Amino acid sequence: MRAERFGKAPVPLLRPSASESFEEVAAPLRQHAFSLQEEDRSLAAIRDTVLPQLMSGKLRVKDAEKQVEAVA
């Protein structure tokens, strides 16, 4: 879509009741998405810490499992 056409596109205005209804559904979904992002960052940090040690042989899988359980 070209910028000039986008800028001229009509924008519907919602009634306050429709906006509130939307927020009742959307707010928990946004919160859940935020929680999943935090969990993803945490899991990535664990992976980045443990994987190199596993690949080098400095850490065994059993030991890694114990470390993950301690963090989680």
pLDDT, tens digit, 9 for 90 and up, residues 29-63: 999 999 999 999 999 998 898 889 889 999 888 88
Q: What is the percentage of the chain residues whose pLDDT exceeds 90?
A: 46
* Residue 57 DSSP one-character state: T
The arithmetic mean of pLDDT across residues 1-20, rounded, is 87
3-state SS of 2-38 is CHHHHHCCCCCCCCHHHHHHHHHHHHHHHHHHHHHHH
What residues have CB less than 8 Å from 61, skipping those under 6 apart?
54
pLDDT at residue 25 greater than cutoff 90: yes
